[in-house]
């Protein structure tokens, strides 16, 4: 029910060299027309400056949309809220909204990449995104008692709207280091601050705090890969994700291990262990349903790729 049929889509892009080997400008746009919208443009502008062979700076602007789908335009949803006076069940009914429009994003990015030493790269990126016409759950009337279908119940009429707006901003850091020819290290850290609110005249019931609290503010990843021999590889990964306040999901850290043996160029056998630090932990919530637990797991995998005749 969430599919949107693309009647037309395309992409145009051109790169302009302003200063040879130093400064370039990239202009482009996506073109999209769906069965729910007219033609929509999603332009992007990117400026890249390379002051030396070991460093680069870039700035970018992007406009993007999330087009409506059948989930907003043609889907009806009823959900249990609780019990009203006299212990009568209380439901909310979200009606389809044929006027639901595209969600809009204007994104700004500034980045820097530098070779600090031999085999050691460092990436730093800051971003700021402004959103409007975001998905909201709007109350469109007063609750009333409904007797059909039985049993009798209170019903709160609502629909899906475009009643939220707000911003996200943050930073991403990603160093890369190869200490030796057989050893590679990759790490990343991201910080996200999200601020959403009701637009003027919005009838949203309080979606913004739930959306804000469903994204982690901090995420860390560290990967270490070893080429033990030409045929044996070992990959170690550490992950940390901060709490999701709205989903009552606590922060967690865990690790993965992958050991691979390439028996021949087209055949590989591997053993993978995932989420090894604890028997299980919570990561997200299903919709509808409670928060979902992810268990520790170990599995083996065989990968075969067909060798093309005449390939080197």
pLDDT of res. 182: 94
User: Quick check: 174 and 123 in contact, CB under 8 A?
Assistant: yes
For 299, residues 6+ apart whose C-beta sits below 8 A from its C-beta are: 271, 272
pLDDT of res. 92: 79
Half-sphere exposure of 295 (CA within 13 A, CB side): 3
State the average pLDDT over residues 166-173. Answer: 97
For 137, residues 6+ apart whose C-beta sits below 8 A from its C-beta are: 94, 158, 160, 161, 204, 205, 207
Tell which residue, 168, 172, 175, has the closest CA to residue 189: 172
Which H or E run contains 209?
Answer: helix 207-212
Instruction: Quote the mean pLDDT of the chain.
Output: 89
pLDDT of res. 2: 41
| Single pTM value for the model | 0.83
The lowest-confidence range among 76-90, 115-129, 191-205 is 76-90
Task: Compute CA distances 5 → 34, 72, 210, whole Å.
Answer: 6, 14, 29
In DSSP terms, which residues pair with 41 in a beta bridge? 31
**115-168 pLDDT, tens digit each:** 988 889 999 999 999 999 999 988 888 888 888 888 888 888 888 889 999 999
Instruction: Report how far apart the first and last C-alpha atoms of the chain are (Å, whole number).
Output: 47
Cis peptide before 243 (omega within 30 of 0): no
Collapsing DSSP states into helix, strand and coil, what is residue 86? Answer: helix
In the predicted structure, residue 110 carries a pLDDT above the cut 90: yes
In the predicted structure, residue 259 carries a pLDDT above the cut 90: yes
Structure tokens at 264: 């021949």
For residue 155, the tally of other CB atoms under 10 A from its CB is: 17
Of 157 and 271, which is predicted with more confidence? 271
pLDDT of res. 310: 54
User: Quick check: 164 and 192 in contact, CB under 8 A?
Assistant: no
Of 224 and 138, which is predicted with more confidence? 224
């Amino acid at each position: 029910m969430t599919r949107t049929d693309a009647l037309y889509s395309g992409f145009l892009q051109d790169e302009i060299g302003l200063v040879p080997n130093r400064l370039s400008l990239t202009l482009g746009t996506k073109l999209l027309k769906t069965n729910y919208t007219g033609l929509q443009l999603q332009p992007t502008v990117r400026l890249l400056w390379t002051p030396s062979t070991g460093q680069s700076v870039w700035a970018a602007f992007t406009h993007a949309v999330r087009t409506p789908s059948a989930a907003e335009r043609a889907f009806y949803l009823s959900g249990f809220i609780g019990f009203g006076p006299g212990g009568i069940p209380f439901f909310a009914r979200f009606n389809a909204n044929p006027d639901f429009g595209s969600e809009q994003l204007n994104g700004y990015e500034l980045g820097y990449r530098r070779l600090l030493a031999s085999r050691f790269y460092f990436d730093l990126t800051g971003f700021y995104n402004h959103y409007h016409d975001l998905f909201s759950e709007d109350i469109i009337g007063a609750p009333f008692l409904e007797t059909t279908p039985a049993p009798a119940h209170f019903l709160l009429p609502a629909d899906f709207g475009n009643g939220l707006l707000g911003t996200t901003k943050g930073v991403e850091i990603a160093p890369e280091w190869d200490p030796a020819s057989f050893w590679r290290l990759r790490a990343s850290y991201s910080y996200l601050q999200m601020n959403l609110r009701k637009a003027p005249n919005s009838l949203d019931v309080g979606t913004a705090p739930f959306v804000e609290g469903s994204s982690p503010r901090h995420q860390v990843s560290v990967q270490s890969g070893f080429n033990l021999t030409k045929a044996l590889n070992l990959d170690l990964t550490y992950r940390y994700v901060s709490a999701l306040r709205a989903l009552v999901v606590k922060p967690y850290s865990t690790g993965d291990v992958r050991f691979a043996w390439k028996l021949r160029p087209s055949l590989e056998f591997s053993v993978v262990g995932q989420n090894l630090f604890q028997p299980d932990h919570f990561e997200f919530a299903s919709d509808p349903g409670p928060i979902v637990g992810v268990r520790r797991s170990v599995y083996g995998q065989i990968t075969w790729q067909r060798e093309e005749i005449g390939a080197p």
